[in-house]
Structures are given as structure tokens and as C-alpha cells.
């Protein structure tokens, strides 16, 4: 069935059209009959068709009602396919999760929602096996960034606390229709196990990192004023004169543990 759909700018639609890239993504995911896959932003169904061909069950989430109608027609005979017309940022993923079979999430994410969506998904990691996303290259570089680099910041720290992250390969603009103005990359995120997450309340870490990076060029002494004294930082073997990007994830976890102990 060949149904045309004009990409909509307000939804950040750039449809993947390069079959070689599609094949690489499907190979990287390696889905099979045992898998329950959630596809975010299926677009015209290029990835969807390959996921269904792997015999995985697929729940797709799409905000564009015209695309929802198109995909319902395209995969009407596939019992393993369900589509939900929904804004993914408002989606309660608990309704799609199973305690017995953690889901696998895949998606070519619109650039304008990728960062808030990654934070949204952190609340559902208990039911997620892994995530494979196409993101703007700049965002992927921030996800995997190391301390002391220009890309290292709040996104790096929070996602690296919760997940093992691996940048797989880059994707040129020509792989899409219409071509975006930037390069993209495929990234894999695997949620860490509960025994790897040492904090009692990760909100402490989130608040700390947000305040630490509130003024990137200022020192911890300035940014964390009112939260931690110079003496407390020094007792944790952290120089108050450092900038926020100079601290490792382990440093931020250590400070957060101290804050949790201080708050009882």
C-alpha cells in the first residue's frame, strides 16, 4: 500500500528512508518472537514493518492522527501490532509494561522532544529491558560525554546514573525525507539494576545537578551556596573552586549521599 504523507514541521517529522540504515538499526536491536517492543514515533512504518517481520509484538505511539490511520491500514492484518494515538510526553508507560516481560523501546525521536522524553522515561525503567534511539548527534554526544568536556552536563550525569549508554553509529541527513539540517546517531541505553543505584532518592541527585549547572561558568562554591558549605565539599574531597563539569558522576553521587544523610 503506497499512501503519501507530507511531513509536518510542528511534529518535527523527518522520516527515515534509507533501507541500509533501517537494516543496521534492526540488527542492533535484534528483536525476536519473545520481545514486546514499544516504538515511539513510527512515522510511515519503515521500522515498524521490520519489527513485525521479526515476530515481535509491537505497540506504536504516534501523535499524528493521519499517520495513525495510515499505519492502521498498512498493518491491519498483523495481530501483533497495536497503535496508540498519543503524545508520548504525556503517555503513562505503566499501561504498556509487563512485570514478566520487560519491554524494549525503539524510536526515531523528534529532535524537539528528545531531551524531555528521555527524562520522562526515567520513571519507567523498572519495566524496560533496553532502549534504542535515533537522536540528534549533539544529544547523543551529551549522553555519553565524560567529565571535563563541553558536552558533559545534567543530561550526561542523570542518564549515566540510571543507564549504561553506548553510542552505536552516526546517520547522515540524507537518510531521511526531508533531510534534517543536522547529523543523527543511534544510541543504546540499558537500565542499571537496582543494586547499581545506590541513592535512596534520586531526586536528591537531580536537584543537586540542576543547581550545580545553573551557571555553568561559575564554581561549585557559587552554584551550591545555601546547599553545601566549602567545608562540607572539602570533607568529601571535592574542591569548591571547581566548575560543575569537572566532577564525575561518582562525585555527584557522593555529594547526594551526604545530602541524604544530612536530611535524615
Vertex 50: Cα angle to 47 and 52 (nearest 5): 110
Q: Where in the chain is CATH 3.40.50.150? A: 9-195
% the chain with pLDDT above 90? 84
Per-residue pLDDT band at 5 (split at 50, 70, 90):
very low
* pLDDT of the residue at 7: 43
Q: What is the distance of C-alpha 16 from the center of its chain?
A: 18
- Check residue 107 and report its DSSP letter: E
* pLDDT of the residue at 92: 96
Query: What digits encode the pLDDT tens for the residues 21-72?
Result: 999 999 999 999 999 999 999 989 999 999 999 999 999 999 999 999 999 9
* pLDDT of the residue at 178: 82
* pLDDT of the residue at 167: 98
* pLDDT of the residue at 99: 78
pTM of the model: 0.91
CATH superfamily name and code, 202-262: rRNA adenine dimethylase, C-terminal domain (1.10.8.100)
**Cβ 23 vs Cβ 45: under 8 Å:** no
pLDDT of 117 above 70: yes
Pick the CATH number of 9-195 from 3.40.50.1010, 3.40.50.150, 3.40.50.2300, 1.10.3660.10: 3.40.50.150
Contacts of 202 (CB under 8 A, 6+ apart): 161, 162
Evaluated on CA atoms 90, 49, 175, 146, the torsion sign reads: positive
* pLDDT of the residue at 2: 40
For residue 56 the three cell numbers come to 515481535
Query: What digits encode the pLDDT tens for the residues 149-179?
Result: 999 999 999 999 999 999 999 999 999 988 8
Query: What digits encode the pLDDT tens for the residues 216-245?
Result: 899 999 999 999 999 999 999 999 999 999
Average pLDDT, integer, range 97-105: 91
CA–CA distance from 232 to each of 150, 203, 224, 253 (Å)? 27, 20, 11, 14
What does the DSSP assignment read for 55-106? Answer: T-EEEEEES-HHHHHHHHHHTTT-TTEEEEE--GGG--GGGG--SSS-EEEE
Q: What is the mean pLDDT of the chain?
A: 92
* pLDDT of the residue at 110: 82
* pLDDT of the residue at 180: 85
Q: 11 or 121: which carries more pLDDT confidence?
A: 121
Q: Where in the chain is CATH 1.10.8.100? A: 202-262
pLDDT of 11 above 90: no
* pLDDT of the residue at 13: 58
- Strand boundaries in the chain, DSSP class E: 15-16, 36-40, 57-62, 81-85, 103-108, 128-136, 163-171, 176-177, 184-191
pLDDT of 255 above 50: yes
Neighbours of 261 (CB within 10 A): 9
* pLDDT of the residue at 14: 77
Amino acid at each position: 500500500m503506497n499512501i503519501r504523507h507530507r511531513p509536518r514541521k510542528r511534529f518535527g517529522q523527518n522520516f527515515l528512508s534509507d533501507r541500509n540504515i533501517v537494516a543496521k538499526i534492526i540488527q542492533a536491536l535484534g528483536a525476536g518472537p519473545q520481545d514486546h517492543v514499544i516504538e515511539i514515533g513510527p512515522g510511515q512504518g519503515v521500522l515498524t514493518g521490520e519489527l513485525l517481520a521479526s515476530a515481535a509484538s509491537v505497540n506504536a505511539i504516534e501523535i499524528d492522527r493521519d499517520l495513525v490511520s495510515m499505519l492502521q491500514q498498512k498493518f491491519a492484518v498483523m495481530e501483533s501490532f497495536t497503535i496508540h494515538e498519543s503524545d508520548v510526553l504525556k503517555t503513562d508507560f505503566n499501561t504498556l509494561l509487563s512485570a514478566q516481560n520487560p519491554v524494549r523501546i525503539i524510536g526515531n525521536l523528534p529532535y524537539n522532544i528528545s531531551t524531555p522524553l528521555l527524562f520522562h522515561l526515567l520513571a519507567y525503567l523498572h519495566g524496560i529491558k533496553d532502549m534504542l534511539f535515533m537522536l540528534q548527534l549533539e544529544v547523543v554526544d551529551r549522553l555519553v560525554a565524560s567529565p571535563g568536556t563541553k558536552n558533559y552536563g545534567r543530561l550526561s550525569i542523570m542518564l549515566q546514573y540510571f543507564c549504561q549508554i553506548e553510542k552505536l553509529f552516526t546517520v547522515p541527513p540524507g537518510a531521511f525525507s526531508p533531510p534534517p539540517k543536522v547529523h543523527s546517531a543511534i544510541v543504546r541505553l540499558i537500565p542499571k539494576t537496582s543494586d547499581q543505584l545506590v541513592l535512596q532518592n534520586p531526586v536528591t541527585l537531580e536537584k543537586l545537578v540542576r543547581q550545580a549547572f545553573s551557571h555553568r561558568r561559575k564554581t561549585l562554591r557559587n552554584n551550591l551556596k545555601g546547599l553545601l558549605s566549602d567545608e562540607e565539599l572539602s570533607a568529601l574531597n571535592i574542591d569548591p573552586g571547581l566548575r560543575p563539569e569537572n566532577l564525575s558522576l561518582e562525585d555527584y553521587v557522593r555529594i547526594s549521599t551526604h545530602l541524604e544523610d544530612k536530611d535524615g
